[in-house]
Amino acid sequence: MREPAAIIGVGCTRVGEHWESSVLDLAVEACLRALEDAGNPPVRALYVGNAASEILNEQGNLAALLADVLALEGVKAVEVRAGDASGALAFHQACLDVAAHGPGEGAVLACGVEKMTDVLAPEVERVGMLFEDARCTFHSGITIPGLCALLTRLYMDAFGPSYEDIVLFAVNDHRNAVNNPCAQYPFPIKPETIMGSPIVADPIRLFDTPGIGDGAAAAVLCAPEEAPKLSDTPVVVRASEVASGRMNFCEREDMFSIGSLRAAAKRALEAAGVSIKDVSFFEVHNTTSVVGILALEELGLAERGEGWRLVKEERIAIGADWPVNTMGGLKGRGHPWGATGLYQIVEATWQLRGEAGKNQVEGAQVGLTHNMSGLGSLSCVHILARGR
């Protein structure tokens, strides 16, 4: 089976509070870094993932605007919106574009960007709930952390872990973020620190939730056949899959199941011709710790209700059985909505190139990334591999 695309360049900004930069400034910085990394090939198409720039930054039509500023007049420019899965979906669309064309037709640029600090925190929480079904969540006043609190309480009651057991997922993220120069929170954190932080929605504590931050990440893609000519260390996209799920987790047959992830991962692994045991590392979407644990279970790394044990036994640490969120994940690296999916692609590319520094997974050959909207209404799964 022909692989859909190859990555020949990546770039990103540090995640943080970029008061001096606009949403466009961040996107330009990430794209220029990715293009330079790729050797500045001719670009024929641009895909931009963003969740809410019209509301947060009073700026729409980002794809055309970015193409204009990058002097890419005349290229195909497409803006992609899918909540906090926007970046991964933009990358998926870029892969489809590359696959639809033959070698030699120019590179495709995918960018994800979000600037969240232009508004106050309550507005960020309000806008985040727009990614859910307004009929049963948004208008009730509940927030994403509130929904995660319900899931956490149900998971604790059903399977027996304490909340202190669950937040070890966030501890793993922070441990890995220490060595990521682009991370928003590059410092270790102890379980007792999380437990002592303010309650956001009982039992969820502040330090178990991603902070509000700005950032952009980008990747340059081309046909797999021409990648070795353009890069000494190409990374092949073995599969790119997207699946939808039930918007309201209370209506799911199994409230602990992320059906969109299960469907997308199954298709991606089959398309890539690999099993979950062949994957060297995982970058998963952890809105809070319990969501990351559920993702481990959905991927088949642990049985239902046993994912927390995998974390507690440190089997998801770098150097252990299943390295997870090797550069800090949503909690340590940060979660600028529309950019998160492409940060995962950038970080997976670093791993497969052997450029992850102290966080390098030894012998990494295959990586899996998972980015989703809300609590699983849409999941994007990509299988990346070291170029042959």
In sequence order, what DSSP letters do the residues of 268-337 get, joined into one string? Answer: HHHHHT--GGG--EEE---SSHHHHHHHHHHTTSS-TT-HHHHHHTTTTSTTSSS-BSTT-HHHHT---G
**Mean pLDDT (whole number) for 19-23:** 97
Q: Is the model's pLDDT at 388 over the cut of 80? A: no
> Given this model, what pLDDT does residue 97 score?
97
**Mean pLDDT (whole number) for 89-94:** 98
Long-range contacts of 350-359, Cβ-Cβ distance < 8 Å, separation of 24 or more: 350/10, 351/280, 351/281, 351/326, 352/235, 352/384, 352/385, 352/386, 353/233, 353/235, 353/386, 354/233, 355/233, 356/326, 356/327, 357/179, 358/179, 359/176, 359/179, 359/180, 359/318, 359/326, 359/327
Q: Is the model's pLDDT at 387 over the cut of 90? A: no
C-alpha Rg value of the chain to the nearest Å: 19
**Mean pLDDT (whole number) for 371-385:** 96
Contact criterion met (CB below 8 Å) for 128 and 200: no
> Given this model, what pLDDT does residue 1 score?
53
- pTM beyond 0.85: yes
Average pLDDT, the chain: 95
CA–CA gap between residue 350 and residue 217 (Å, rounded): 13
The token pair that represents 292 in the structure block: 């990351």
Give the pLDDT confidence of 131-159 residue by residue, as tens digits.
888 777 777 778 899 999 999 999 999 99
**Mean pLDDT (whole number) for 70-86:** 97
How many angstroms separate the first and last alpha carbons of the chain? 15
Handedness of CA 57, 70, 5, 231 (dihedral sign): negative
Give a three-class secondary structure readout of 154-201: HHHHHHCCCHHHHCHHHHHHHHHHCCCCCCCCCCCCCHHHHHCCCEEE
Residues of the chain with pLDDT > 90, as a percent, come to 88
> Given this model, what pLDDT does residue 256 score?
92
Give the pLDDT confidence of 157-179 residue by residue, as tens digits.
999 999 999 999 999 999 999 99
Maximum separation of any 2 CA atoms in the chain, in Å: 58
CATH class of domain segment(s) 5-120+210-386: alpha beta
Single-letter amino acid, residue 170: A
How many CB atoms are closer than 10 A to CB 199? Answer: 11
